[in-house]
């Protein structure tokens, strides 16, 4: 990153697990606000590409006046594991944000590993769009230290964060997350735990229905989005939003909702499944419902 600046107390960093779209976006948000980040991902290619991607995100945030005036960009340290980035005098992270793929087993495995490694009292934050926090808490050593967030993409631009408090989440963990989000100039909206919480439970089935309308030939992609924007005030339209979310992530979230609620409206429609199968994942792959030349995340 641009500068070796660490404003965390005692040189401690925020640890972000996962260098994909959301992990990199959360890291960009943090370093843009002067908070150093340890970014961890076992995928070496993704890890090697992450610093340049984060730099681009920080530059975008600055151009859009989404960062504090005069803030110095903090450093990102990357590694395949906690052990790889640890030093003799490392006091450990101030908090850990897990941002791996939207798969309950994958998240549970990572959360179990990290909760066994970090010091007791460290807040562990699972960034998830649909998986219940109480379900994930069963994998952790100390369920009181787990809390959920649903940062919207791109997190370095969107200021509101859905916060999910599980039934076991402790007050100290809640306070730690509030302090972190305040440092990031984010507004937390706290909700109770349930599949999909609020935003995904409402938005993702609606996007699924929008795709069904296109698949049925009722309207084009552009017409659906323009109608939702012009008539109903949706800022980008559901299908452009789907491209931003990532169609693979959307399908994963819909399956979580379908499997945990039984709502058939949450079963991913055939067109969505076919697009994911053929690699049309949205903005991050360069093509989804729209084409994004040279804009892959």
Q: Which residues contact 124 (CB under 8 A, 6 or more apart)?
A: 95, 96, 98, 111, 114, 115, 118, 140, 145, 146, 147, 173
Provide the token pair at 264.
């058939």
Find the Cα–Cα–Cα–Cα dihedral 123, 103, 81, 146, rounded to 10°: 10
Contacts of 271 by beta carbon, 8 Å cutoff, 6+ apart: 211, 212, 214, 215
Catalytic residue check, 150: yes
Catalytic residue among 150, 168, 204, 258: 150
Exposed (0-12), middle (13-18) or buried (19+): which is 199, by Cβ within 10 Å? middle
What's the rounded Cα separation, in Å, for the pair 192 and 155? Answer: 21
- Residues known to be catalytic: 150
């Amino acid at each position: 990153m641009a500068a070796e600046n660490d404003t965390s107390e005692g040189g401690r960093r925020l640890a972000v697990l996962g260098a994909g779209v959301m992990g990199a976006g959360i890291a960009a948000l943090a370093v843009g606000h002067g908070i150093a980040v340890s970014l961890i991902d076992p995928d070496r290619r993704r890890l090697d590409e992450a610093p340049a991607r984060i730099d681009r995100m920080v530059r975008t945030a600055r151009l859009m006046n989404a960062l504090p005036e005069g803030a110095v960009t903090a450093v990102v340290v990357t590694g395949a594991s906690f052990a790889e980035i640890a030093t003799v005098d490392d006091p450990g992270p101030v908090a850990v944000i897990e941002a791996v793929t939207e798969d309950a087993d994958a998240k549970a495995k990572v959360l179990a590993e990290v909760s066994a490694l970090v010091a007791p009292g460290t807040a562990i934050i699972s960034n998830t769009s649909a998986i219940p926090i109480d379900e994930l808490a069963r994998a952790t050593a100390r369920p009181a230290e787990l809390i959920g967030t649903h940062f919207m993409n791109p997190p370095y631009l969107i200021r509101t964060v859905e916060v999910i408090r599980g039934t076991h989440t402790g007050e100290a963990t809640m306070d730690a997350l509030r302090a972190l989000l305040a440092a990031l100039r984010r507004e937390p909206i706290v909700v109770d735990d349930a599949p999909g919480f609020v935003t995904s439970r409402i938005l993702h089935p609606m996007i699924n229905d929008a795709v069904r309308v296109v698949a049925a030939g009722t309207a084009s992609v552009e017409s659906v989005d323009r109608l939702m924007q012009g008539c109903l005030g949706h800022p980008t339209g559901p299908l452009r939003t789907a491209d931003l979310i990532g169609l693979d992530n959307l399908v994963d979230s819909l399956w979580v909702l379908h499997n945990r609620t039984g709502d058939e409206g949450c079963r991913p429609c055939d067109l969505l499944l076919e697009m994911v199968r053929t690699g049309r994942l949205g903005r991050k792959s360069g093509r989804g419902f729209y084409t994004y030349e040279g804009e892959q995340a």
